[in-house]
Amino acid sequence: MTKIALIIFSAALIIGVIIYSWFNRDSDRVILTLVTAMTIGALGFITKESISNKVEKVSKEFPVVVFFGTPDYRPLNIQLPYGHELSMCLQEIKKDDLPEDSENVDIGYGSEKYFDALQYLIVKEIFKRFSQSWNVIAKQTQMPGGKSLSWQSLGDLGKEIHINEVLRRFPDNYFLTQGVHENIPAVFGGKAIFPPTIKISIENSKNLKQTIINLDTDYIKVTISLAASGSSIGIGEYSRLLGLTTSRQHINLADQQKYGNAVYNLEIKAEQNMWLNGHPDMKTHRNWANSIIELLDNTFNYELIREEHLRQFQLYGPEGVRAI
């Protein structure tokens, strides 16, 4: 209320000065004083804002790691927040499309397929979480079975978009060509609510194995970048965490050739429109952007997932790491 009262007082003061000047408009002194005062005030305001008003940015970057094995290149039986969705996606690989060598893992093939799977899963997770409203509050709580991310919808009106409008912009995605997304409407309706001025664009670089998803509004822009970081044979410490070996040594070389891992880099950036930093609607848009960062961080961040796996292993052994 204090802000509104100050605005009203300032507006009344300016109007009063303009009215006085209008009634005395034949006086050069009055008009010159008015123009000078208004010019000095405007220049002072512009100068102050240009110095103090900065571009507000926030970003989060973390690795996404997947583990797979021959002969079907399905994900290993590891607890993951997105494990079920990932398994459902990878089961769409046709036998005729698998590498001929069923004994030794082709990490290049695995890395390419899981990149396509993550493209799909990232978009799907966003649509699932914002299926009711774009104005939500994300809360992370510690549950007996681990951390849980809950959502409270505040129900603001927005723009409804069907997920297929976005997925069709991934023309080279293997799993989308197999129709993995065709059962989405049965799950959550296949639609999400975004801010009213949303513009969604996709940048794909198959050669660089990089995808950039731009969620652009009048108030804030969210950029989600997924890029392949590296892949290698074997699963490292997970050979022990999964109980594939009981010693401190990793599984032997012959067995290592059956497994592979791929690492991707996921980066989310949010940048506010500096000219609207103080707009009443900016808080809601910033909360929307923060919710996306919170969602992707809690779902895909390998560093957080690994910490939880180590904790579960200490408590329950390999059974605590394996998916139920």
- Cα–Cα dist 211/170, whole Å: 9
* pLDDT above 60 (res 241): yes
Distances 149 to 90, 105, 226, 291 between C-alpha atoms, Å: 25, 35, 22, 10
Q: Grade residue 140 by pLDDT with cuts at 50, 70 and 90.
A: low
* pLDDT above 70 (res 253): no
Among 310, 324, 291, 318, smallest CA distance to 60 is for 291
* pLDDT above 70 (res 55): no
* pLDDT above 60 (res 173): yes
Q: What percent of the chain is modeled with pLDDT above 90?
A: 55
Peptide bond into 71 cis (omega under 30): yes
- What pLDDT score was predicted for residue 30? 67
H/E segment holding residue 227: strand 220-233
Token pair belonging to 157: 């009106």
Most confident of 1-10, 77-86, 143-152: 77-86
pTM (two decimals) = 0.82
Q: Grade residue 309 by pLDDT with cuts at 50, 70 and 90.
A: very high
- Cα–Cα dist 65/265, whole Å: 9
pLDDT (tens digit per residue) in 56-99: 889 999 999 999 999 999 999 999 999 999 999 999 999 999 99
- Cα–Cα dist 205/212, whole Å: 9
Over its C-alpha atoms, the chain yields an Rg (Å, rounded) of: 27
- What residue segments make up the domains of the chain, in order of their start? 2-52, 57-320
